[in-house]
Amino acid sequence: MTDTRSAAPAAPPLAEVLAAAHVVSIPTRTRFRGIAVREAMIFDAPLGASEFSPFLEYDDAEAAPWLAAALDFGWAPQPEALRERIEVNATVPSVGAHEAPAVLARFPGCTTAKVKVAERGQSLADDVARVRAVREALGPAGLVRVDANGGWSADDAVAALAALADFDLDYAEQPSASVDELVEVRSRLRAAGVSVRIAADESVRKAEDPLAVARAGAADLLIVKAQPLGGVRRARSLVIEAGLPVVVSSALDTSAGIAMGLHLAAALPEGMLAGACGLGTVALLDGDVTASPLVPLDGAIEVRRPDLDPALLERYRAAPDREEWWRQRASRAYALLRSRRDQR
């Protein structure tokens, strides 16, 4: 099968890529995934703004498909958009329950919320309190999802989701880390009469075989991100091949990266989107690279590319050593992509 994580488009010369690059460092409003400052490489590319922002701990092999995505989005035509606006969910980090309403207020009009759970150093009681606060804020008509980022064992996941099921969950995202554990959790919940759908995220975007989770019957739906899957076109092909409903999500991107996710969601065939997408996370950043950020309005975001703002790129410009770190990282990822392409 095609390696959708690492396949690269015909790339522009590296010198052109680096000449179009700006490295930014933007604070977050609330610690998210342990991150207080989000670093990203933003490209002022020929076809519009694009983004390369793998998390700092990712090695070059894992970062390479993120660069492939950025090059594809910035230098190659994209699939036709079938939608003009994409409904999005609010994202609630692992904050105290009393802080949840204020976080939700940053996502105007959103009637679906994804709540982070299984945070290290926190307890199930903390998760229950946070999810309860979100459910109360949204009311009975709202949709509540939880995301454990693979943080529970199978036993803990079954116990936690049984406790959280009282809040009428839409689904639980990546309750455990491995595909085998997801199969076990899904089976045990069904046997116990707990009606919670299982969504796979890391088991898709970090897997050697992104389709293994679908073949194993480990999930009811998939969470897909354009950057780690190599771009809009490759992610779209994977989704179609998997045959499961999907939610398109982000990785705490700036508006340049969110635009990539919006274009993926807009290009999916009818019937494949499983509700609101996780593309509203610019609201969690305390800054952006455009004066017209891609944030929710009436619960949705318009499908468009943002215009980069030179003043904001300068305001959030990373320190020289961090800029050089990102330029070296992009150069290594570029070399990996070229090597893989030459081997095909």
On average, the pLDDT of the chain sits at 94
Strand partners, 32: 35
Strand partners, 302: 85
How large is the average pLDDT for residues 111-131? 97
pLDDT above 70: percentage of residues in the chain: 97
Domains and CATH numbers, the chain: 14-77+310-343 (3.30.390.10), 85-302 (3.20.20.120)
Spatial CB neighbours of 320, under 8 Å, sequence gap ≥ 6: none
pLDDT value at residue 208? 80
pLDDT value at residue 10? 67
Reported as a pLDDT band with limits 50, 70 and 90, residue 207 is: confident
pLDDT, one tens digit per residue, over 40-77 is 999 999 999 999 999 999 999 999 999 999 999 999 99
Residues classed as catalytic: 116, 225
Residue 321 annotated as lining a ligand binding site: no
pLDDT value at residue 147? 97
When comparing pLDDT for 5 and 25, which is higher?
A: 25
pLDDT value at residue 209? 86
pTM of the full structure: 0.93
Instruction: Answer yes or no: are the C-beta atoms of 262 and 301 closer than 8 Å.
Output: yes
pLDDT value at residue 8? 43
* DSSP tally for the chain: helices H, then strands E: 12, 12
Q: Does residue 5 carry a pLDDT above 50?
A: no
Q: 149 φ, ψ to 5°?
A: 50, 40
When comparing pLDDT for 266 and 1, which is higher?
A: 266
pLDDT value at residue 32? 76
Rounding to the nearest 10 degrees, give the CA dihedral for residues 15, 17, 21, 26. Answer: -130
pLDDT, one tens digit per residue, over 140-173 is 999 999 999 999 999 999 999 999 999 999 999 9
pLDDT, one tens digit per residue, over 285-340 is 999 999 999 999 999 999 999 999 999 999 999 999 999 999 999 999 999 999 98
pLDDT value at residue 11? 85
Residue 147 annotated as lining a ligand binding site: yes
Q: 240 φ, ψ to 5°?
A: -65, -40
How large is the average pLDDT for residues 206-233? 93
Residue 57 annotated as lining a ligand binding site: no
